[in-house]
Chain A
Amino acid sequence: MTNEFTRRDFLAALGGAGILILCQTEAADAQESGRRAHGGDAHPRAISAWLHIGEDGTINVYTGKTEVGQNIRTSLAQAVAEELRAPLASIHLVMADTDLTPYDMGTFGSRTTPTMAPELRKAARAAREALAGIAAAKWGVARTAVQVTDGKVFCEGHSAGFGELTRGQQMVESIGPELALTPATEWQVAGHSVPKVDARELVTGKHHYTPDMKRPGMLHGKVLRPAAFGAKLVGFDDAGARQVPGVTVVREGDFAAVAAPDAESAERALAALKGEWKSEPQPSDRDLFAYLKVNAEPGEDRQGRGSIERGMAEADRKLSQNYTVAYIAHVPLEPRAAVAEWNGDKLTVWTGTQRPFGVREELATALGIPEERVRVIVPDTGSGYGGKHSGEAAIEAARLAKAAGKPVQVVWTREEEFTWAYVRPAGVIEISSGARRDGVVTAWELHNYNSGPSAIGGTYDIPNQRIVFHPSKSPLRQGSYRGLAATANHFARESHMDELANALEIDPLEFRLRNLKNDRQRAVLLAAAEKFGWGKKKVAAGHGFGLAIGFEKGSYLAACAEVSIEGGRIKIIRVTESFECGAVVNPDHLRNQVEGSIIMAIGGALFEQLRFDNGRLLNPKLSQYRVPRFADVPVIETVLVDRKDLPSAGAGETPIVGLAPAVANAVFQATGKRMRSMPMAL
C-alpha cells in the first residue's frame, strides 16, 4: 500500500506541474456515448509515470487502458519489450487503476495501438537511454560504448541487469522527442505472433473478473428496477425487505436497492421491496423508423462537394433507396459488475469498464466527493465491444456500500444487462445517387437518421456529394458500439453501390474499381477478390457471391461472402476478408480480431434485434435474443496486408463493418431479393 500511495502522490505532483498537455482528438469517438472528451488532464512526460524498474529487474508499465479481450496487455508489452530491449516475460502491465496509472480518456475508438503504444514506446526508448547513461557513468565509459540487449546493459568487461542500475529508483528523466524509435522493418518482438501473456490464467479459470472478487465482509447488492424506461418511483414500501436478516435498504430518489450477506438473501429482500412506478407512454419498435425521421434534427453537410444537381444531370441512371438498422445489444458475456469499498472517506471500486477515469468522475459526482478520494480499478474484463463506457453498477455498489458500512458487490443479471445498459443506435439511411453508363458515379446524397456519423463518407471518388447526419430522439438509451455507426453506413453505402452496379450491368468489383483512386483501398479489395476467387470461381446453383469494401479509423478492408438459402434462411458459407491497418503488431492476434469481428457481425446482419414497446424490452434474454453460435460460423479466410512503412492503426473494431453488406449483396445474387434492413429477412 505504501508504494501505491507513493506512486499516487508522485502522479499527482506530475499532474500539478502540468508538464505537457496533449490535446486529445477523440471527441468524435466519445460522442456517441453521449460524453465529450475530458481533455484537461496532463499527459506526464517523466519516464517514471509510465515505467518503473524494480530492484529485482521487474519492469512495471503503467497505462490507463483496459484489457477487454482485444489483447492489448500483450501488444503493449511487445511495444515496450521492443524499445527497452528486454525479454517480453520481464514486462508486467499495470492497467486501468486511477491511482497508479496516468489519466486516460478511455479504451475506445481503436486508439490504443495508434496512441498508447507510441507513448509507451517512447517511454521505453527513453528508459533504455537512461539505463545506458547510468551504466556509462558508473563504469566511466563513453555512452556510445554501452549497448542494451536482452534485458542487460553491456560494455567491454562490464555487464549489469536493469535492476542493478536503477536500484528501484524512479526514473525522472523526461521523455524527449529526439530519440528515434525502432522502425517496424527491424522489429524483433513486435510484429510477431507472441502468445497472449495472461492466457494461462484464463484457461485455468484463475483470473478474477469483477464478479469473481471477494472482499472481507462483502455484501451482495440488488437494485429495484423501474417498471419502464424513465419511470419515477412514486410509492415505496420496504417493510418486508427489512425482515431479511442482515439487510441494508437504500432509497435515494428513484434509486432503491438492497444489500445482504449472501446473494440468496439479497434476492429475497429485493423480491420483498414494493415499488410503485409512474412512466410516460413510449414508442414501440414497430413505429421506430418513422419516429426517428419525425424527430430528426436538420443536421449539417460536413463532407459536401460539387453540386448534386449537376451530378444528377450528368447521370444516365438514378437510384433512391432507404436502408435501416435495428437497435442491438452488446451482450458482453461478463455483465456489468462492481465491488465498492469505503475506507473512511475514501472509496475504492473494482469494476469492468472501458473508462476507469470516466467512471471515477461519475462516482465522484454521484457520491458528492472529490475525484481524489475515488479510486477505480479495472480487472481485465469479460469484453465490452463499446458497451462498457459507463459506471452504473459502480455507482450502485458505492451507494450500497456507503449505507451498509461494508464492501458491496453488484453483479447485473443478463436481463438487467440487456435492459439497463445502453444499445447500439438504430437508424434510417437514405441514399440518392446517379451514375453514367460507363460506371462513373456522378452524384451521391446520403442522409443518416440517428445511427451516427462514423464512416459516413466512404473512400469513393465522387465529384458531387451531400452527406448529412441527422441526430434524432432515441426511444432507447443508446451509446457506443464496436465500430459505432460504421457498420450501418457501410451496409447502406456498399449495398447501394451494388444496386448501382447491377442497374448498370457492371461487375461489382469492376464498378468499385472505376470509382476508387485510393491505393490502399484498391489493394485490399484486389487482395480479397483474388483470395476469394472473384470472377474465377463459379457460383453454385442457389448460392450467391457478394463483396464490400470499407475504411474507418485508419484501417482498410474488403470482404467477400458466399451464401446459400437453406430452408428459407440465409446461410453464410464462406467469408474472405482482407485487412490493412499499417504495420501489423501481432499477426495472430490481429487475425483473431478479424475472425471475431466477422462472427460478431453475423449477429447484427442476420438475427440480432431488440424489440420494445412502451418503455420495456420484449426480448431481454439470451433465449429470446439470438447471438452467433458455433453452427453459424462460415469458412473464414483472412488476408492481412502488412504495411511496415505505415504507422499501426487499431484493429479491434473496423473488421466488423464489411460482413453485412457483402452478405446482403450475395443474397441478392442468390435470390434476386435486395436486403435493405439489418437484420436481414428473406
Chain B
Amino acid sequence: MYVRIRAPFYRGRADNEDMSRITELEVNGIIRRVDAGPKRSLLSVLRDDLDLTGAKYGCGEGQCGACTVLLDGEAVRSCITPVAQAAGKRITTIEGLERDDRLHPLQEAFLATGAMQCGYCTPGMIMSGVSVLEKKASPTDAEIVHGMQGNICRCGTYPRIVAAVRMAAQQAKSARRTS
C-alpha cells in the first residue's frame, strides 16, 4: 500500500560516529565546500548550507518525493539520504536542470501541460520524471506511473504530470529523428 523507499539505507555502517565530516559535494557540476556531519540529511545540507531550496521538505520519511534529487542520475529522497551517501557522487537538483538559460525539456513540458497547481511538489516531480526518462527514453504511461509512484501531488495534477513526461519523451524522440 505504501511506497518502497529507494533512498540508500546503510544501517549498521553509517551509525558509526567516527565517520569523518563531509567537506565537499559535487552539486550541479560544481564542487561545493561544506562542513557537515555525515549523518545529516542531504536535504538539509542542500537547503540550509548551500541555499538550494528547490528540493522541499514534505514528510521527512521518504514518502512524498518533494525532496527528490538525482545521485549519479538516480532519483533519491534527499530527506532520508545521509549526506555521506552523496559524497563523491554527482548531485543534481532542480536548480541544475537549466542550461544556458534554457529549461530542461521536462520543465518545458510541465509549462506546456500546466502540470501544477500550488507547485510545492513540482521540483521533486520533475527530478523523478528526469530519472524516469534517463532510464528509458520512451516510457509507457504505466512505466511513468510506476516510476513516479513515490511522489505525491496533493493538488491532484497527476494526469497532467504523466502527460508532461510523455510529451518530453516524444519531443526528445522527434529531436533525435530530425538530427
Contact = CB atoms under 8 A, between A and B. Distances in A.
A629 B120 CA distance: 16
Contacts of B63: 621-623
A263 B44 contact: yes
A589 B144 CA distance: 24
B107 interface: yes
B118 A68 contact: yes
Nearest to A588: B114
B59 A203 contact: no
Contacts of A597: 156
Contacts of B117: 69-71, 383, 592-593, 596
B152 A333 contact: yes
B61 interface: yes
Contacts of B47: 212
B97 to A, nearest CB: 8
A199 B162 CA distance: 17
A174 B18 CA distance: 71
Given A203-B110, A264-B44, A622-B63, A630 B158 contact: yes
Contacts of A630: 144-145, 148-149, 151, 158, 161-162
Interface residues of A, number: 57
B59 A208 contact: no
Given A203-B116, A205-B55, A629-B3, A414 B154 contact: no
Contacts of B37: 264
A334 B162 contact: no
Q: Is the interface of A mostly helix, strand, loop or mixed?
A: loop
Contacts of B144: 630
A380 to B, nearest CB: 8
B54 A595 contact: no
B40 A599 contact: no
A131 B2 CA distance: 59
A334 B156 contact: no
A204 B145 contact: no
A621 to B, nearest CB: 6
B114 A383 contact: no
A262 B149 CA distance: 33
A69 B94 contact: no
Contacts of A333: 56, 58, 64, 66, 118, 120-121, 152-154
A600 interface: yes
Contacts of B64: 333, 414, 622
A622 B152 contact: yes
B57 A627 contact: no
Contact of A262 (B3, B48, B56): B48
Contact of B116 (A199, A262, A332): A199
Contacts of A328: none
B61 A622 contact: yes
B111 interface: yes
B34 interface: no
A383 B57 CA distance: 14
Interface string B65-99: 01000000000000000000000000001110110
Contacts of B48: 262-263
Interface in A285-341: 331-335
Contacts of B38: none
Contacts of B56: 209, 211-212, 333-334, 382
Given A599-B156, A636-B159, A205 B114 contact: no
Contact of B118 (A69, A208, A212, A633): A69
Contacts of A411: 57
Interface string A264-293: 100000000000000000000000000000
A179 interface: no
A564 interface: no
A206 B94 CA distance: 9
Interface in B1-48: 1-3, 37, 40, 44, 47-48
Contacts of B66: 333
A72 to B, nearest CB: 11
A619 B100 CA distance: 46
Contact of B149 (A209, A380, A629): A629
Interface in A573-601: 588-589, 592-593, 595-600
A588 B126 CA distance: 21
A596 B157 CA distance: 6
Contacts of A69: 116-119, 155
A518 interface: no
Contacts of B54: 204-206
Nearest to A412: B57
B138 interface: no
Interface string A615-639: 0000001110011111101001000
Interface string A388-415: 0000000000000000000000010110
A536 interface: no
Nearest to A70: B117
Contacts of A68: 118
A596 B122 contact: no
Contacts of B152: 333, 622, 627, 629
Contact of B122 (A202, A331, A598): A202
A585 B171 CA distance: 31
B150 to A, nearest CB: 8
A633 B161 CA distance: 12
Given A382-B118, A596-B155, A205 B53 contact: yes
A64 to B, nearest CB: 19
16 contacts: A69-B116, A69-B118, A70-B117, A199-B119, A204-B54, A204-B98, A205-B122, A264-B37, A381-B118, A595-B159, A621-B61, A622-B58, A623-B61, A623-B63, A630-B145, A633-B158
Interface of B: 1-3, 37, 40, 44, 47-48, 51, 53-61, 63-64, 66, 93-95, 97-98, 103, 107, 110-111, 114, 116-123, 126, 144-146, 148-149, 151-162
Given A333-B118, A598-B156, 5 more contacts: A201-B119, A203-B119, A592-B157, A629-B149, A629-B152
Question: What 5 pairs between A and B have smallest CB-CB spacing?
Answer: A205-B54, A69-B118, A382-B120, A599-B156, A202-B119
